[in-house]
Amino acid sequence: MKSVRLGKTLERDLSVAAKRLGVTESEFVRSAVAARCHEVLGDSLAERLQDVIGAINSQGGRARAAHTVYGELLAAEPRRQAHDTD
C-alpha cells in the first residue's frame, strides 16, 4: 500500500474526475498510475510498430534516387570553412 499527498487543487480535480467517470478515487488513481507505468515501461518501439514493420515492400524507388541526388548535390557544392560567416 502506498500513500500519496495531493495538493488542494489536485485533490479537488481527482474528486471531480472520478465522479465524472463514475469510479472511486482509488480506482481512478490506480488506473492513472497503471497507464503512466505502461507508458514509461511499456513495449519497446519495435513491439509498438510490429504491425507496420515490413508492411511495405519498397524496392528503394524514389527514396534511393533522392539519396543519390542529394549526395551529388553535396559533392558539387563547395565546402564552407568553419570560420566563414554570412
Identify the pLDDT of residue 80: 60
pTM for the whole structure: 0.51
Using one digit for the tens of pLDDT, what is the confidence trace for 14-49?
999 999 999 999 999 999 999 999 888 877 888 878
Three-state DSSP at 25 gives: helix
Q: What are 46's three cell numbers?
A: 519495435
State the average pLDDT for the chain: 83
Residues in contact with 23: Cβ distance below 8 Å, sequence separation at least 6, in sequence order: 31
Q: What is the Cα–Cα distance from 48 to 42, expressed in whole angstroms?
A: 9
